[in-house]
Structure 1
């Protein structure tokens, strides 16, 4: 299981520019062609925004919006049911978009959430955006239905009930006890996934600088990540 932004691809001010690191696409194509590993992309992005960036020969399984969406390799698509209170709160938060964009931020709508990005802005702009979002969130008491989630380059207001840890548990259940699971991610939103990897599997923090984490291993991108995936492929091929 692989996170996308910050793991398979570098962060970019414009998310549409975040294509995979050199070497990632041919390596993942080999995974898909060999068929020895169930390849699952787990992202905070809306799946419709992520698929065009992957550029793989075959479509992998993709869980988007932190687990609210699932696009299977055969094309079947499902969105989990979001409670009405969270939907109403997201509609309310949607009204803030003009405010945040006037401060230099970028807003990203997705199933079950609304993300506010400030990557590339100066500290003063970031502070103003964060303060405005927090003030609105607190005054309207949206915390009853939406969680506040910090990530690298912004914050997301998201309906409670799904996170990347739920994705790991779902995949583990489907794969069975004999499967060996791995999860690679970089952000705070990946910590629940790291904690959910079952015994015998491996969780990998992929980022240039170390930070406290529940992951088993820390690797720097892209070299460390590519070496890990290459060794996984070679081991699985000869098993």
Structure 2
């Protein structure tokens, strides 16, 4: 573990977890709880992660929330949890509550039309196997390709989608292993802000994520909780703490229930 924020004291943070009336652990999935896989339907969690999350959920003293770029329907078969926590999917465009209630926002008509046109263009390039349509975005998953091929496809996609993005107010965003065309309105940061508004000011919180898409969440949780970067190599980030998976991730997840269940 490496502290990135000057003045951060992890012992003091876990003491605040123990003393808090409310605890919330917000977690990205791919690259954070699970290693990346070229075959995305085989991206199962690191060994030990489901057991630790099951322990937290069963204890009931921590609200566990997953916030993923994946669609919720793609994420559910991978988790291996006895009870589902609250899940935000598609960068905040979808929400599944523990009671099974499902909510999905919808981008503007102009954005939807632009995403449809962008998907048709990707199909014309022969990229349909890599293109994924989501409620508020279109992603190109290029993991597993040779670096030169990945770079060339990214370049061509940016070139082909840039006019559509400008016309409809969409953004082109890199992520680890691909490129995504996104409608405005929701991201992981907006999901975190919604959670913060619902739980009130007196909770102990942490957000764990790995990718550039998690930076929105890191910025949203600042001044409210701990932002934790989980990846093998350090990169520029707004996070407060850096963990290398899987060992340091498992250590952090193990410390949380120990603190939450301690005497106050």
TM-score category of the 2 structures, normalised to the smaller one: over 0.9
* 2:69 paired residue number: 44
CA RMSD of aligned residues (A): 1.5
Is residue 182 from structure 1 mapped to residue 206 from structure 2 by the alignment?
yes
Count of residue pairs the alignment pairs up: 238
1:1-40 to structure 2, matched below 5 A, reads: 1-40=26-65
Question: Tell me, which stretches of 5 or more residues in structure 2 are unaligned?
Answer: 1-25
Q: TM-score, normalised by structure 1?
A: 0.95
SS in 1 for 2:203: coil
TM-score by length of structure 2 reads 0.86
1:199 aligns with 2:223: yes
Say whether 1:122 aligns with 2:149.
no
Residue equivalent to 1:233:
257
Q: Out of 120, 123, 131, which is 1:95 matched to? A: 120
Report the Cα distance in structure 1 between the residues aligned to 2:81 and 2:233, rounded to whole angstroms. 29
Measured after TM superposition, the shift of residue 230 of structure 1 is: 0.7
Which one is further off, 118-127 or 52-61?
Answer: 118-127
Pairing 1:67–2:98 present: no
| Higher relative contact order structure (alpha carbons within 8 Å, sequence separation ≥ 6) | 2
Distance apart, 1:237 and its partner CA: 1.0
**Secondary structure in structure 2 of the residue aligned to 1:39:** strand
Equivalent-residue separation in structure 2 for 1:40 and 1:101 (angstroms): 37
For residue 227 of structure 1, report the CA deviation from its aligned partner. Answer: 0.6
Give how far 1:127 is off.
Answer: 2.4
In 1, the alpha carbon distance for the partners of 2:125 and 2:49 equals: 34
